[in-house]
Amino acid sequence: MAKLPPPKVVAVTEAARTGLDVLKRNLVPAPIALLDLVNDLWGFHVAYSLAELRVPDALRAGPRAASAVASELGLDEDALYRVLRAASQLGVCEELPERSFALKPVGRALCSDPQASFRDFIVYMGRHGTRFWRRLPDVIRQGKNAIELETGKQPFEYLTVDPELAEDFNRAMTAVSNIACDAFSAAYDVSFASKVVDIGGGHGRLLASVLQQAPHAQGVLFDAPSVVAGAGPTLQALGVSARVQTVGGDFFAAVPGGGDCYIAKSVIHDWSDSDAQKILGNIRRAMAPKGRVLLYEAIVGLRNSASFAKLLDIEVLVTAGGRERTQDEYRALLAAAGLRLERIVPTAGPMSIIEAYASNSAT
């Protein structure tokens, strides 16, 4: 992956891009501004369909005619041409003469990879996310997550009874980690650590990145038994399998002890305050006396400010029943678990690193 720009540069760029979007909405009639939201919906389904059908993979080696791709993949030629033409407007590809198309960088991000690519997140949202997002009005009416309303099961219970969904979910989370881990490592130095425990670490993509930065550290990958069972290929491919112990368990019961660095990426946001306090309390009891906790989460911005976390908050409301939080809310949550928020470290992405210590320890 290309070297990431400094977080401040990213912040300025995002503010400028958001400002242009706001200006555009304010300069057109309100119905036209709303139509842009529909355009976004259409655009997502174009990208999802191409990813689902592995069309970007067929274009990976270079420009090809839509007819040749359709023949190879068993698709309707006219329908594929029209979808690729629409995708060229989204920056996914470029239309060339004679109904040929070449991938652009956005399109290459939709190509598949054995270790998970961002394609897997788009496919997960297309196959499963849209099913539950349509229940948002019911979520608002009843205050329950959409998976519970749709299936009668709690979100993570539902994952355990649908193997296809679980596989799609785990690959999607690894795909997101492929982006987030580089931003984490660039923003935070973990070379101090001798034992890093990744709580809810999935297939270990972030833990592997951290251990590459801390070559003398040992790692513990902790998640549900069915999840860590699939971590081997990722850890092997990234060259850290010899330094990682995989442990299956339930973080509401207990977490592995003795770590001087506990990392939890996008874990706390999945849970209510009371459940989050239980997880954090277990980490507090397990950590070494001078250990630290690093929560990697999106933080809700100021009132009326553009914030990725404000829309991500609705995603977790719909699919997990959790919530995104402000800095002050994280401070209070950590304090209730016997931890002290020390600082917030911005990254070159939409997430920040929340650094905390035991409330009775000195930094």
User: pLDDT tens-digit profile of 149-185?
Assistant: 999 999 988 988 888 888 898 889 888 877 888 899 9
22 pLDDT higher than 90: no
- Residues 206 and 185: their CA atoms lie apart, in Å, by 9
As given in the structure block, the two tokens for residue 190 are: 């973990």
At CA 181, angle to CA 19 and CA 333, rounded to 5? Answer: 75
Q: Is residue 347 part of a domain?
A: yes
Q: What is the mean pLDDT of residues 223-236?
A: 93
| CATH code, 344 | 3.40.50.150
Structure tokens belonging to residue 297: 């989460």
Judge contact between 233 and 115, C-beta under 8 A. Answer: yes
Residues 58 and 195 both lie in one domain: no
Angstrom CA distances, 80 to 67, 77, 98, 265, 266, stand at: 8, 5, 14, 38, 36
| Residue among 157, 129, 126 nearest 50 (CA) | 126
Query: Alpha carbon of 292 to those of 203, 254, 299, 356: distances in Å?
Result: 22, 17, 19, 6
Helix (H, G, I), strand (E, B) or coil at 65: strand
Give me the number of domains the chain comprises: 2
Structure tokens, 34: 């709303």
* Domain shared by 196 and 77, yes or no: no
Check: CB of residue 160 under 8 Å from CB of residue 188.
no
Looking at 75, 108, 141, the residue that finishes a domain is: 108
Any idea which residues carry the catalytic annotation?
269
Together in a domain, 104 and 191: no
The predicted pLDDT at position 15 comes to: 62
Beta carbons within 8 Å of 210's beta carbon, 6+ residues apart: 181, 184, 185, 190, 193, 196, 198, 217, 219, 263
What's the average model confidence in pLDDT over 328-348? Answer: 96
**CA gap 211, 217 in Å, rounded:** 6
Question: How many secondary structure helices (H) and strands (E) does the chain include?
Answer: 18, 10
CATH number at residue 78: 1.10.10.10
**311 within some domain:** yes
> CA separation (Å) from 134 to 153, 229, 329?
17, 32, 29
Report the mean per-residue pLDDT for the chain: 91
For residues 221 and 346, state if they share a domain. Answer: yes
Same domain? 183 vs 83: no
**Is there a single domain that holds both residue 186 and residue 42?**
no
Of 108, 136, 152, the position where a domain reaches its end is 108
What is the percent of the chain with per-residue pLDDT over 70, rounded to a whole number? 92
Please tell me whether residue 252 adopts helix, strand or coil conformation.
coil
Look at residue 94 and tell me if it is in a domain: yes
Contact 225, 253 (CB under 8 A): no
Q: Is the pLDDT of residue 16 over 60?
A: no
pTM of the full predicted structure?
0.86
Q: Residues with Cβ < 8 Å from 97, sequence gap 6 or more?
A: none
- Give the residue-averaged pLDDT of 13-22: 62
Q: Is residue 2 part of a domain?
A: no
Range of the domain at 74: 7-108
